[in-house]
Structure 1
Amino acid sequence: MRDETGAIRDGRPGRRLTWPWFLVIVVVYAGIIQGLGLLTGVDTSSSDSAFPTTESLVRNALIPIGASIVFAAAVVTRLGWWGEVLHDRAPVRRWVRWVPASMLAVALLGLNYGHLGDQSVSLVACLLLLGLFVGVGEELMFRGIGVQVFRRAGLTEGKVALFSSLVFGLVHLSNAIGAGAQAILQALIVSTSGYFFYLCLRVGGVILLPMLVHGLWDTSLFSNLVGDEPQASAGMALIIVLQAVLIIVLLVRRRSIEPDAEKAPA
């Protein structure tokens, strides 16, 4: 039942958002990033680097992603969900703490420090800001709004994790237009990362932890792609290995993520 303000009266604060409308919001979110990228971006096709200059990083990434953060924040504000989006109250077993801990450690080890040392201060500063923007924007949309949408639909936590991660992966297909079958593989890999970030949310109890892990994880990946001559580091192998290990561990232990019923909060 709704009151005059449109808020739902099921004990949860804020307005109602069904999952089909969430998908519409995600399409708009992706459209903002892609559309602004086309409007403000600079052509880097002549370079092997994703971001050969500070200008290309700002115009091709920071401006579009910054706008998407404003959009996501406006959606949360309109829904009145800030309390539930910022704070998560679904605990997990202690072993799951190794997910964010290992991801943070490997992201720090995997940073291409040598390559970044050869870049300008402005480019490195903008790269760090890009990692922050990606972490804040994508977590706000998918582990913030997305998780709440599927929870309010009455799904189990397993399905909440699955569907929010799948949507997270699918939206990245827009970043790989023209990549063919490789785009599908990328979406699957990104979906698994989304599941890891979901677990970070559960472990930390606040959305700031997945924002931090996600931002640092992507910064580590991006550190190989900046400058005139992109250069992969040995640290990339650590990231790939950890991704594979976490997938295997979570496949084996997926049924032991939830806390014991008698220990779960009422």
Structure 2
Amino acid sequence: MTTRPEEPTRRTLSTTWHSWRFVLLVMLALEVLLLLCLGAARFFLPNVPLLALDLPILLLNAVFAAVLLTRLGWWRAAGFQRINRPRNWALMVLPVALLIVPALLVGVDGPPPGKALILLVLILLIAFQEEAMFRGVILHGLAPLGTLQAVMGSALLFGMIHANSLLVGRDPAFVAVQVIASVLGGIGSAALRLRLGSIWPLIALHTLNDFVQFSAAQGLAVQQASPVLLIAKLGIASVMALYGLFLLRGLAIRWWPVQGKGAAAPQ
């Protein structure tokens, strides 16, 4: 049987359409959840500051991520498994150093013990739901498009979702930097996720990043970020992007179906 030359192009366009349709529906669901929470708060709790809704919104997002992964059967495919090679732990040295060394040099003061525990719970929720959604579900959903396209697409969407911080009253300058830094950092994080074969180190790294960042900002509100914090955030994210591009060299996804329970197998 002779294959017509236009068939591969047709299959490619179909794959691209299905992959982007899936991830955009996921993004839409996240936006609807947020807007419903904010709308309900405005109606039933008009005197409560929107920033006080961080915990319930994060809990809802975490539950949504867990339900979605369960329904799709993607827990293992999203990286909730051990690192594929123990020696790959060495890949985490640079990202961890990028967070710890500047904090030590600048002298970031941690919050009091009581507030530190609350902050840790909040950022653990942030780390779980953001990594599960963007380095798990969305990266997996875009994988049929190719390694580079999946990494860049997930990083771009990761940056865009941070614009929602404007809705709860965070500093616009901080939000603008956060969007750019999230795109750049998302490249490095997605590349690490593929190289490591596990999402757990990314959740730990995300937790460390947010703990250092919000400790420096004295909380999650960030109503007015210091120029030093903004410059440091962009600088670290830029290095992470370059590191991610370095890690992507020669990296290909051997088998990673959009549907089903298969796990990523980068090579």
When the two structures are superposed, what TM-score results if normalisation uses the length of structure 2? 0.68
Shift of 1:78: 1.1
Which protein is richer in helix relative to its size? 2
User: Residue 257 and residue 66 in structure 1: after superposition, are their counterparts in 2 closer, same or farther (change >3 A)?
Assistant: farther
Work out which of the residue numbers 68, 72, 77 in structure 1 matches 2:61. 68
Who is 2:235 aligned against?
Answer: 241
Q: 1:265 to 1:244 in 2, by over 3 A?
A: closer
Please give the secondary structure, in 1, of the residue aligned with 2:59. Answer: helix
**Alpha-carbon distance between aligned partners in 2 of 1:148 and 1:173, rounded to the nearest angstrom:** 23
Alignment of 1:1-266 (within 5 A): 18-33=19-34, 35-36=36-37, 39=41, 42-43=48-49, 59-87=52-80, 98=91, 100-109=92-101, 110=103, 115-116=109-110, 119-151=111-143, 154-177=144-167, 186-226=178-218, 239-248=233-242, 253=246, 256-258=249-251
Q: How large is the Cα RMSD of the aligned pairs?
A: 4.0
Cα 1:23–1:90 change in 2 (3 A) is farther
The answer to whether the 8 A contact 2:59-2:125 is kept is: yes
Tell me, in whole angstroms, the C-alpha distance in 1 between the residues paired with 2:65 and 2:19: 16
CA distance 1:128–1:27, shift in 2 (3 Å):
same
Question: Take 2:109 and 2:225, find their aligned partners in 1: how far apart are those partners?
Answer: 7
Q: Is the 8 A contact 1:96 1:199 kept in 2?
A: no
Note closer, same or farther for the CA distance 1:19–1:96 as it changes in structure 2 (3 Å cut).
farther
CA distance in 2, matches of 1:35, 1:115: 36
Report Cα offsets for 1:215-256 as digits up to 9, x if no partner: 2111211112236998969787655433333344556x4762
* Offset of residue 187 of structure 1: 2.4
Counting aligned pairs with the same residue, the percent is: 22
- CA positional deviation for 1:21: 3.2
Q: Is the 8 A contact 1:131 1:219 kept in 2?
A: yes
Q: Which amino acid aligns with 1:170?
A: M
Q: What count of residue pairs does the alignment treat as equivalent?
A: 227
8 Å CA contact 2:134, 2:154 repeated in 1:
yes
Paired residue for 2:5?
none
Structure 2 residue runs without a partner (length 5+):
1-17, 255-264
CA contact (8 A) 1:197 1:214 kept: no
Query: Separation in 1 of the partners of 2:174 and 2:188?
Result: 21
Asked if the contact 1:19–1:150 (Cα under 8 Å) also holds between the matched residues in 2, the reply is: yes
Shift of 1:104: 1.7
Distance change >3 Å, CA 255–CA 218, structure 1 → 2: closer
Deviations 1:200-219 (A, max 9, x none): 21232111111111121112
Residue 146 of structure 1, CA deviation: 0.4
Q: What secondary structure sits across from 1:256 in the alignment?
A: coil
Q: TM-score, normalised by structure 1?
A: 0.68
CA distance in 2, matches of 1:71, 1:222: 25
